[in-house]
Amino acid sequence: MTNLAVKRLKLTNFRNYEALDISVESAPIIITGENGSGKTNILEAISLLTAGRGIRSAKLSTIDRVGAASGDLESRVFSNFPWTVYSEIESRDGELSIGTGRDPSSEKDKRIIKIDGENIRSQAELGAYFSVVYLTPRMDSLLALGASSRREYLDKIVASFFPDHVKHLSVYSHAKSERQKLLAMYRYDESWVAITERRMAENAVAVAHARIETIEYLRKAINYQLDSGSFEFPKAIISSIGEVEEMLSFMKAVEVESKMQEIFKDARGVDKDSGRASRGVHKSDFRIVHSEKNMPAELCSTGEQKAMLLSITLAAARARKMWFGAAPVVLLDEVVSHLDEGKRAQLAEEIKALSLQCWLTGTEKEFFRDFKGDLQLLTVENSKILV
């Protein structure tokens, strides 16, 4: 199976780009340019070919190019000139097109998505055709920010392995919210609460199972990286810690679903008083430990945290290649400038070994001197691409 790749990318009114249309090959693409020139915007556009809000988690209306309608800042908000991204990709099922953009007819922050010109109903459907893994500067401190940030990072990786993961997370979250609304009533209908709790339990088990499976893939890929040569990145010992994940280690899925329904029922009083759900997979943590130091990642140095995140990102790409047959597109924003020469060389070798499409950005071409072979060098200047 061919690795996933973007073959053509066309942007309209996207961030600083009034119009951009580039065609590329499956080989690594290196984008250089000054800070603020729009390098990251290109990576963000690619990330929006998947479910979610992309690498910046931005509101859709803030992506509209400033001044696209009338030249003032207000034109960014629900203007008549919304942003669009059109792409031609190499997918699991061959070549196809994906188009997406902010819906100008909606009063809400909503986007339209089309595959081969046909509207799709759910963003989750994108995962069946295309996926990315990425690392950006805004993720540098996520390991130290707490369980919610680490869990969100894990779930984005899980979604690249199991496309339905996005749907299960969404249904779980919606059921959790509905349950809280019901519990907030003076006299709530217990049968309706039980229905929401059953939906929570069913999807909680699906979410936890996908996390466990993905972590096992990542572990094998990390060990493969270390066994294959002098891999200079620190080894990360990873696990998903949570009550649902723990129960799945010794109980059948149907038994865990039943048990979680009991747990949710018993917690109604506490959750009604607190206004939030106290139990469930939204409380799980993605535990990362530096193996040599036996130290939680959040207590390691900033440099060590960045190296471990990059190692996990590469492991995700390798795992997808090894067990699913097609590596995702990898987006690395301003990553190489923080690496020493040894790690830069290792990164270049890993990308070459996987034969994947990797989009890398940096301010200086010198940062990429270890990248050899088939490369595509692009320079961004004044919202234009110089090849």
Alpha-carbon Rg for the chain in angstroms:
22
Range of the domain at 260: 139-326
Residue 68: per-residue pLDDT: 52
Residue 344 Cα to chain centre, angstroms? 23
Please tell me the total count of domains within the chain: 1
Residue 179 lies in a domain: yes
Residue 257 lies in a domain: yes
Residue 245 lies in a domain: yes
pTM for the full predicted model:
0.89
Residue 293 lies in a domain: yes
Residue 58: per-residue pLDDT: 92
In the chain (387 residues long), the average pLDDT of successive 10-residue segments reads 89 94 93 93 96 91 74 44 94 90 84 94 87 90 87 92 92 97 92 97 98 95 74 84 96 98 97 96 95 90 88 92 88 90 87 91 89 87 84
> Of 289, 176, 285, which is closest to residue 235 (Cα–Cα)?
289
DSSP assignment of 170-202 equals: HHHHHHHHHHHHHHTSSS--HHHHHHHHHHHHH
Take residue 344 and report the two structure tokens written for it: 């830069």
Residue 157 lies in a domain: yes
CATH number, residue 295: 1.20.1050.90
DSSP assignment of 85-148 equals: EEEEEEETTEEEEEEEEE-TT-SSS-EEEEETTEE-S-GGGGGGT--EEEE-GGGTTGGGS-HH
Residue 193 lies in a domain: yes
The span from the CA of 141 to the CA of 170, in Å, is: 26
Amino acid occupying residue 322:
M
Residue 110 lies in a domain: no
> Of 203, 133, 202, 119, which is closest to residue 168 (Cα–Cα)?
203
Residue 122: per-residue pLDDT: 86
Residue 229 lies in a domain: yes
